[in-house]
Every structure is written in C-alpha cells, then in structure tokens.
Chains A and B, each alone.
Chain A
Amino acid sequence: MKNTDLPEAGKQDTFRTSLARIPLLGWLIGALVAVLLEHLTGLRLAEALLLPKVPVLFGLVTMLKTPLLIPSSVFYVLLIYILPTFIVARLTRPLTNRLSAGLFNLSPAVSAVIHLGVFYAALHLWSEISDYRVLTVKLTLIAIMLTLSLNLINGYMGEFSCSHPGFMALGAYTASVFTLSLFTDSRMFGTAVFQAGYGPFLFPAALILGGFTAAAGALIIAIPSFRTRGDYLAIISLAFMFIVKSMIENMEVIGGPRGLGGQPDYANLPAVFVWTVLCVWMINNFVQSVLGKALNAVRDDETAADAMTVNTRQTKMTAFMFGAFWAGIAGGLFAHVLRYVNPATFGIQNLAEVLAMVYFGGLNSVYGSIVGAVSMNLLGEALRPLEIYKWIIIPLLLILVMIFRPAGLIAFKEFNVRNLIRPRG
C-alpha cells in the first residue's frame, strides 16, 4: 500500500503528519494502554486530584455538577486518556505499522477481526470500572443499530419513515416472550420449557425471531405504501407506530400497559457488541452492493431507475424490511439490557430521539450513523445534571446542525473498512 496523500517517512516530521502516519491499530493499542492505566492508577489519581470518584464519562458529568472540579477533571482526562494514548500510539508507530501491514497483506478480514478484538478489549476494560459505564455502552451500541437501520430507510432510500419505535417494540416483545416463556419460570407464561442453561445459546434465535416479526410488520406497511411516491409512507408508518403501541397496551397476555419485566440477563456486553458489529457489517455491505446502489438510484430518480431495469418496488420493499429487521433485533437487545419493557417506551419521544440521531450524524452514511448515535447518547448522559435544560440544549444544537449542514454532520460518505485498517507508514 503506497499512499500518495501522505508525506514520505523521514521528511519533515511535523506533529500533524506524524499523527497521520499512525495506523488505526496504533490508536487502538494506545487506547488499550490508557484504559489499563486507568484500571491501575485511576482511583489513586482521582483521589490525588480531589475528585470524589473515578470520573465515569470523561469527567463531563462532574464538570457540570461542580464547576470547581473542572481543572481536576481536565487533568484526569489528560493524564489518563489523552497523553498515554498519544504517547503509546506515537512510540509504537513503527511496530504497529509493520504489524498492520503484515496483517493487511495476510488477509484484510483477519486484520479487521483483530482490530475489532483490540477495540473490544479496550471497551470492555473501560466499562468494567462501573455498572453505569456498562449500561451506557450497551445503550449506545443499541442506538447505533437503530440509527443505522433508520438511516437505511430515511437516508439511503430517501423516504421518511416514522415507524421505528413500532418495529423496535415488535422485536422487543417477541424476543422477550420467547425467552420468558422458554427459559424462565414466570407468572405470565408458566414454568420453563427448556433448562435455563440453553438460554444464552438460543438467545440469537429469540432476537432473529424478533427481527422477523418486525420485518413482517414492515411488510404490512410496505405493501400499500410503495404504490405511490411522496409523503405517503410517513403517514402510514406513523399510524402503524401508534397501532403497535396501542395493540400492546391492550394485550393483557403480555402485560398490557404495565409492561413486561424479568427478562433473563442474556444481553451482556460481548453479545451486544457482536450484534452491533454484525449489524454495521451487514448494512454496510448491503448499501455497497448492487441492491444498495439501486436503492440510491431509486431515491435520486425513480423513473430513471425504473428505466434502467431496477425493480423499484421490490428494491424499496427489501430495504425497508431489512431496516425493520435490524430495528427488531435492536429492540430485542434493548428489552434484555433493561430487562423491562413497557409500551410507553416506544412512543413519539423514542421516534424523536432516533430521528435526531440519524439527522445529526448524517444521511446516507454509516460513519454518520455511528457518530450521531454515539454523540447524541454521550451528550444526553453528560448533560444529565442540567435536568430539563438538557432538552433545550440538544434540540438547539440539532437545529444549528440542520441549518448549517442540512444533511447532517457526515453525510454521503462511504464506510471503507480496508481504508480504515490499512498501514500508514
């Protein structure tokens, strides 16, 4: 791999170019070392800096709660995260470059898996510090899946779908009923059918079943909606969302408005991570495939796409159901992470959040979805001390983004894994 956009090694080694030549592996190893450092010295450093405990979210919450601790928090983040990451990444640069070149030449797929492994190790160690971090990471990962699957419909397909909370609810309830009735003794569904030990192995089946239920729901919307173009889908999907919510509220078998609780604890961090990676990988492949390109063609000009032998209706239906499938899986994971669902969760509020993440991050872009989901979730957690003013700041931010970048922060950008993991030396 020869990179023309990067300066040759040995020439003027400015700060920026020296950072640009660190491969992704270097950064990941740096992050891993930083997290290890936090494990070893975090508590003592926090005490020395007069912080009450280890800052859970990069000190953002602490800063807003007690402004006096801003310098300490900044120091903590600098000493624990930023400096070690930079130093390790810079020092190991020759090594990591050679390593990633070797892996890349061996097989990009293996290299990608190893990158993911290192990333997961860092994430796992980071979240191990507190339960709050684990929950935040899980919910953020689920948000990524939701955002990406909605981006498939609203960004890549260019329709305006409002039914994502409905799909999520279908997935969540199907998966919950599956696990609750088969593997647990619950008041609602009687004694367990199988031994509880089988549960974690059949959990993917529960999720996939949830995904298929959501896709079937999508089919109900898709059959009438895609006859005409325009804002038809927006209305029908909105009505569908309310119908699903109201239907669940009226089904006493699954708890009605009181909700459904006590799901077994199958959605641990590795499971959620693996499903998220799977989701990103599959949706990214989908949008780069012939079908994905056909989808973009349908969005830009349906008549022209039709003339170019694209089966527009089938393309739209496939993409819509695929997006709904992943929303269903995300819903199933969501139910097993919180271990409680009620129909009120899947309302307008949820819709506004998912839409905000999609349009903040950027349409038609996998990067955008990841950035949107992560930043919105972190922002939401970090601004928690502001109480209700949080719901003035976040919408204002989104309005500004919409005005200055109407398609979102990182829109219309291709997510290229090969480019991401290539060596840079």
Chain B
Amino acid sequence: MTFFFQNVINALQWGSFYAMIALGYSMVYSILMLFNFAHGDIFMVGAYIGVGVATVLVTLTSSGAIVLPGWLILVLTILISMFLTSFVGMFVERVGYRPLRDAPRASAAITGLMIGIILETGNLAIMGATRVKFPPIIESVTYNIGGVFVTNKKIMIVVISLMFMFALHQFVQRTKWGMAMRAMSFDYVAVPLMGVPMNTIAAMTFAIGSALASVAGILFGIAYPVLDPYMGIVFGWKAFVAAILGGRGSILGATLAGFLLGFIEIFVAMVFPSTLRDLIAYSIILLILVFRPHGFFGEPYSAQLRL
C-alpha cells in the first residue's frame, strides 16, 4: 500500500509538468484554433532561462553581493523567467503565427514546428552539446509519512503548479482580459468586430502560455536537474495530446488530462515493463477519444477548416 501511495506522489509531480505545459497548448488552441507546435520547445527555453537566472542569483548570493534566502531565490527565479519567457512566446506569435492568421491552419502548424526546430538547434549551437545542470536552490528534505517518502521538492512542485493553475483559472474567469479571451474562443470572427483587440489578445495568450511553460521548466529542473535541448520534444507532444484530451478551451480539462497522463505513465511503469509505457498510455488516450471525441470538457463544435 505504501508503494501505491509513493507512486501517487510521483504521479502527481509528473502530471503537474504535463498539466502546466498542456495549459499553454490549450489556451492557444481555444483562442486562435491553432496548434502551437513550438510550445514544447518554449518549455525547454524556459527551463534554460530559469537555469541562467538561478545561476546568476546563486552566484550573487554566494559571493556576498546580496543576501537572499533560498525561497526568495526560487520566487525571483520563477518570476523573472516567466517575464523573459513570455517574450519568447510573443516573438513566436509575431513571427510564426500573426502573418499566417488567414492562411490555411496547417501552414501555421508548420511554422510552429519549424520555430521549434530552430529553438532546439539554436540552443545546441549556443550552449554546445554539454548538458546544463540546474543549480541547487533549496535543500532537499525527505519526510517519512507512514512509510511513504515525500521530499519537500515534490510537495513544492505540486503546490506551485496547482497555485498557477488556480491563478490562471481566476484570470480567465474573473478579469476583463479573461472575458475577452473566452469571447474570442467562442467566436473568432465576430468578437474582433466588437472592439476586442485581436492582436493583443493573441500575444497575451502566447505570453501566458509561455510563462506557464517556463514555470514548468523550472520545476522540472528542480526535480530532474539535468537539462538538454531536446527535452521539449517528448514533453511537448505528450502535453499536446493531453491538451486535446482535456477539451478545447477548458483549463480544468487540460489540468485533469495532464494529471491523468502522469498517473497513467507512472502506474503503467509500476505494473508493466517501462518500455510499454508509451504504448499503453497512447492506447488509453485513443480509446478515450473514440468515446469522447471532444475531450473531457470540450463542447462539440463544427470547425470549418480554413483550407
């Protein structure tokens, strides 16, 4: 039984990465009806930016220039990286998506894919092939709760990601900008005619999605401190599937689907050989989609493909 709960903790941690990335996909998809295939690589860039910021703060602290406690370094790293990564997202939107807004939707997907490849290769060219290590910001403390070992990092990761998801939910549901986003996802054509600034909303969507991806990247870096330029591919595509599974434009759906994917992967690896992980995970997703074509919380819609 303790083994089971141990895996529940692991699955919660693993699922929170997926959920955070899936939110970015889901938002872009609901508002612009486009797949942002560069999102997985934005997650990677976010993690690298996080490494940079954290390294600077840690060196400053250790050299005695400023004195910051560990938790403050973490908060500052997250906030600064979110700010910086949101510009990456806005840049991707400006270069790859805005010129193609009236083009076939698939063309925008291709530019996203290509920007992703450029980000990966650019990273490889700048940073070289050596893997980057995330600097240790907080001390790892292990708690033993009835035989289940929980580290403070795992709790922190799950809590921080849930916090951001809640904040995003509040933003989308309660603020004027959030209302504009929901309206845009409801009707792509009419809402800009009502005076909602389309370009601002689109840029904002990308910025928020990228900021969340960078948080996911930093949390991932804290849990698994070795980063490489291709880490965004595996996570990105799986989170993409999770976003669709959650239903178009549903924050709750994307979150749940992300956690579901985390649970499936961890528990498949628990029961079966871990090589079967992808096979079983995707088969379950396929089955769910056969019976619920629009995802968990998606409304059936008729998308006239613009091709």
A interface with B by C-beta (< 8 Å): 154, 158-160, 224, 227-232, 234-236, 238-240, 242-243, 245-247, 249-250, 257, 299, 348, 352, 355-356, 359, 363, 388-389, 391-392, 395-396, 398-399, 402-403, 406-407
Contacts and interface: CB of A to CB of B under 8 A. Distances in A.
A231 B33 CA distance: 9
B197 interface: no
A230 B305 contact: yes
B114 interface: yes
Given A403-B99, A406-B104, A158 B305 contact: yes
Interface in B82-129: 95-96, 99-100, 103-111, 113-115, 117-118, 120-122, 124-125
For the complex of A and B, list the 7 residue pairs with the smallest distance between their C-beta atoms, beginning with the closest: A406-B103, A395-B114, A246-B279, A246-B278, A391-B121, A230-B303, A406-B107
B233 interface: yes
Contacts of B130: none
Interface stretch (B51-59, B61-69, B280-288): B280-288
A147 to B, nearest CB: 13
Given A352-B117, A395-B117, A396-B118, A236 B289 contact: yes
Majority SS of interface residues in chain A?
A: helix
13 contacts: A160-B109, A227-B293, A228-B293, A230-B305, A236-B286, A240-B286, A352-B113, A356-B114, A389-B121, A391-B117, A398-B111, A399-B111, A402-B110
Contacts of A389: 121, 125
Given A224-B290, A235-B241, A235-B244, A246 B282 contact: yes
Most buried by A among B107, B244, B290: B107
Contacts of A236: 286, 289
A237 to B, nearest CB: 10
Given A158-B307, A230-B305, A238-B241, A243 B100 contact: no
Contacts of A257: 275
Given A230-B301, A396-B118, A398-B110, A243 B283 contact: yes
Contacts of B108: 402
B100 A403 contact: yes
Contacts of B48: none
A229 B121 contact: no
Contacts, number: 125
Nearest to B234: A348
Contacts of B111: 398-399, 402-403
Contacts of B293: 224, 227-228, 232
Given A232-B293, A247-B279, A395-B115, A355 B100 contact: no
Nearest to B95: A399
A250 B281 CA distance: 14
Contact of B124 (A243, A355, A388): A388
For B103, B275, B279, the residue with the greatest tally of chain A CB atoms inside 10 Å of its CB is: B279
B223 interface: no
Contacts of B117: 352, 391, 395
B276 A246 contact: yes
A222 B279 CA distance: 19
B307 A388 contact: no
B144 interface: no
A234 B108 CA distance: 14
A257 B240 CA distance: 25
Nearest to A157: B307
Contacts of A228: 293-294, 300
A242 B118 contact: no
A234 B29 CA distance: 13
Nearest to B277: A246
Interface string B239-256: 011001100000000000
Nearest to A238: B241
Contacts of B122: 392
Contacts of B95: 399
Given A158-B305, A230-B301, A239 B241 contact: yes
A401 B96 CA distance: 11
Contacts of B290: 224
A154 B110 CA distance: 12
B267 interface: no
Nearest to B302: A229
